[in-house]
Chain A
């Protein structure tokens, strides 16, 4: 049973535009959410996090939005750069383990 879902397996965006990656979850007990970026042949790299007491967290070009009532999480990247091309995973936790989505492959076109 997939508790964290990323329904878009891929996304293409022009350089300089906004990239919006979406994530939905089913478990209302999740209280911590993370986004990871993964390049081929490397482990996932932590990008940004948000706790359930917030609805927005910003770090440079990256902003994560949390809508608890909709059980929806999104990552905004603006402006998008070619180096942002990677697979992005969202993850959610209610304790010590994280549940990951299946990932969205982002391609930023120069």
Chain B
């Protein structure tokens, strides 16, 4: 079955630690995205990538980093510089298809701070 997988489902971060969230898709989609979701805030864009080896900052990129070495993978690192990382993180992907480009989401990773 084609889809987007995220792991782990829950992740705990200690003070000063970097943690990496995994996102993989087998939909052959060109573009991939990372969103952060806080209660009552909707989804906010962290980073996005439209092609391999290229990515762009979204609205809240500070304290995060990404890489796109393969078309199907777009890992997100939450660095120690992100002072309030507790949130639900959603990865999405889309086929760059002009006017009807639609994003499809993975199941999410919930990050908690110890």
Q: Do A and B bind each other?
A: no
Q: Write the residues of chain A forming the contact surface with B, with a CB cutoff of 8 angstroms.
A: none
Q: Write the residues of chain B forming the contact surface with A, with a CB cutoff of 8 angstroms.
A: none
